[in-house]
Amino acid sequence: MAEPVIAYLGLGGNLGDRLAALKEALASLDATPGMRWVSCSSVYETEPWGVIDQPRFLNLVAGFETTLPPDALLSACQSVEQQVGRTQSYRWGPRLIDVDILLYGGEVVSLATPDLQIPHPRLTQRAFVLVPLAEIAPDAIVPPDGVSVRRLLDAVDGKDGVVRSGETPYWSVRYR
C-alpha cells in the first residue's frame, strides 16, 4: 500500500447549476477508492480567466488524503468530470466542471503528457486558485522553489475579483 499524501484539487465551473456540480464532484472524488476528503475551502465566485467573454465561475479548493499515484489521481479527476457531465470545449472555455490537481504532497511531477504537471503550471498566476488554497493551506509549500501559498497569494494580481460567494456548503463542516 502506498504512503498517503495530501493532494490539493481545484474545482470550478461556470455552466448550469454551478454549486450542484461542485457538490457532485466532491462527493464523487470522496467516494473514489484511495481518496479521502480532508479539507475544503469556501466557495468563491470569480471572473473567467483566459477567455473573458463567458459566465462567472464558482471555484473552491479541496484537500484529499490519497494513496493514488499522480497518474491514477489524474484519471480519477477526469472520470469525475465526465460523470458530472463535462463535455469537450475549447481551451479556457465555459464548462460545467473542471477538476485540476494543484499540489501532490511536495512532489514535482512532469510526465510525457501536458495533462499531468504538478504543481499545476499556472498555479502561481491564478488568484482564483490561490485565494481558496490559502484559506485551507496557507503554509503549504509549492515546489520546486519552496515558496508558501501565502507568499504566492501576496504576489498575485486579481485578488479583488475573487469574492466569497456566501455559500455555506455542507461539506465545509463534514469532517470537522
Q: Which residues are catalytic?
A: 86, 95, 98, 100
Please check whether residue 169 is in contact with residue 40, taking contact to mean a CB–CB distance below 8 angstroms. yes
Please tell me whether residue 72 adopts helix, strand or coil conformation: helix
Residues 133/41, Cβ–Cβ less than 8 Å: yes
φ, ψ at 2 (rounded to 5°): -70, 150
d(CA 52, CA 165): 19
Cell triple for 123: 498555479
What are the residues whose beta carbons fall under 8 Å from the beta carbon of 8, sequence distance 6 or more?
A: 61, 62, 63, 64, 101, 102, 103, 133, 136, 137, 140
Closest CA to 138 of 120, 157, 152: 152
Q: How is residue 59 written as a grid cell? A: 471555484
